[in-house]
Amino acid sequence: MKFFLDTANLKEIREVAGWGILDGVTTNPSLAAKENAKFEDLIRDICAVCPGPVSAECVSEKAEDIIPEARALAKIASNIAVKIPVNLEGLKATKILSGEGIAVNMTLIFSPTQALLAAKAGAKFVSPFIGRLDDISQDGMELVREITQIFENYRFDCEIIVASVRHPRHIVDAALLGADICTIPFSVIDKLVRHPLTDAGIEKFLKDWGKVKK
Ligand code: E4P
């Protein structure tokens, strides 16, 4: 499974890149709004730190506006994936942009039919938002299961980015389903390696090491 960081914060991206497990980054307008930087500069800096795919979101609403916006974003760096919300205008734009070789991440996916249409339009990634479904008492992971099965059935070359991740269990369940990618907030990725029994074990071993004759 590939690990993307769901943030626009350069400090967090540099930190996780240093762990050696960072495969990509996803941003969105809400994440970018938290940073004190011009959007284009921010995305360029993120692309310089992370060689994997970096998602930058289009905010235009009509296909004829999304297309030039996406082309401009794709020019910022060779590892940009343009993020486009899944609706009819987004699908029309995705079909054209993917035909030009631009990587599209279709975002705000909340149903298997949206994912199927995105894959048919040539999207390289689909981003089902798991946590936001869980928030309204629906089963976010069931959506990942259905999309995984559909993509396997038809051998779509479209990767599933499990998004809106809220806690480590989401990552375990996504991995059990064989999802390609999880995009994870720093607050969650930071928890993945921690276990109180590991900390207690290290403490005890170090204490006992002090008693070993050297
Ligand atoms: C994914 O690409 C989105 O940036 C993100 O996962 C949205 O998550 P949220 O529901 O925590 O805002």
* DSSP class of 198: H
**Residue 149, both tokens:** 């099965």
Domain of 50, in residue numbers: 2-209
Quote the number of domains for the chain: 1
pLDDT tens digits for 192-205? 999 999 999 999 99
Report how far ligand 1's centroid is from the alpha carbon of 105 (Å): 13
Q: Alpha-carbon distance 25 to 161, whole Å?
A: 11
Average pLDDT over the chain reads: 97
> Would residue 104 be called left, alpha or beta, if left means φ above 0 and alpha means ψ between -120 and 50 degrees?
beta
Q: Alpha-carbon distance 147 to 208, whole Å?
A: 50
Report how far ligand 1's centroid is from the alpha carbon of 182 (Å): 11
Residue 155: pLDDT band by 50, 70, 90 thresholds?
Answer: very high
Q: What is the pLDDT of residue 94?
A: 98
Residue 49's CATH number: 3.20.20.70
H-assigned helices in the chain: 10-19, 29-32, 39-49, 63-74, 88-99, 112-120, 130-135, 140-154, 168-176, 186-189, 196-209
Name every protein residue with a CB atom under 6 angstroms from any ligand 1 atom. Answer: 6, 26, 28, 107, 127, 129, 131-132, 163-164, 183
Non-local (6+) Cβ contacts of 161 within 8 A are 4, 26, 105, 125, 126, 127, 128, 180, 181, 182, 183
- In-domain check, residue 157: yes
Substitution site in 2, 3, 6 for ligand 1 pocket (most atoms within 8 Å of beta carbon) = 6
Handedness of CA 34, 86, 129, 181 (dihedral sign): negative
pLDDT tens digits for 2-28? 999 999 999 999 999 999 999 999 999
- In-domain check, residue 214: no
pLDDT tens digits for 100-125? 999 999 999 999 999 999 999 999 99
Cα angle 99-101-107, degrees, rounded to a multiple of 5 = 85
Non-local (6+) Cβ contacts of 54 within 8 A are 24, 25, 26, 27, 43, 46, 47, 77, 79, 80, 81
- In-domain check, residue 33: yes
